Amino acid sequence: MNDLTWKYVKELENKNAVELFEDENDIKIPTDIVECIKINNGGRPNRKGFDTECSKGRVVKSLLSFNPEDLETIYTIFDVLKKEKSELIPIFSDPSGNYICYDTLNKEMVLWLHETNTTEKISNSFSEFLSSLYE
């Protein structure tokens, strides 16, 4: 995780956006995710590849933004996703319309596949996920 760098980061318009989102939706996002969002909101990591328990060579696109006017925001995706899988909090998008999410029930990172409404486990934590990213 030490050599992970981020491009296209958008400064948070509201420094309390994550906490407000948690309060509005009665959820708690793990501290490591919150810290990453506050520093890298909407950004794209330099290492994008990751694997799930079921598939190899998946790709991260960008961290969802907590600025309401941005293109890919947590607000839009969360509203769609909570109708499908209410236990998931979307964190990253991928280039194919899927989302890397925090699973609040199992306390792990998963890939949500939009075409099948299924998930594949990625890692036991967000920090572990970031550490596992590769070129």
Angle between helices 17-25 and 74-84 in degrees, nearest 10: 20
Is 2.40.10.10 the CATH number for 6-132?
no
pLDDT-derived band at 1, boundaries 50, 70, 90: very low
Helix ranges, 26-73 (H): 31-40
* Tens-place pLDDT, residues 6-21: 999 999 999 999 999 9
Tokens 């925090």 appear where?
102
Q: What span, in angstroms and rounded, lies between the C-alpha atoms of 117 and 71?
A: 23
Q: In what order do the strands lie in the sheet with 88-93?
A: 62-63, 88-93, 99-103, 108-113, 118-123
Task: Using the predicted structure, report yes or no on whether residue 2 has a pLDDT greater than 80.
Answer: no
Domain layout of the chain by residue ranges? 6-132
* Tens-place pLDDT, residues 63-72: 999 999 999 9
**Strand-pair partners of 92:** 63, 100
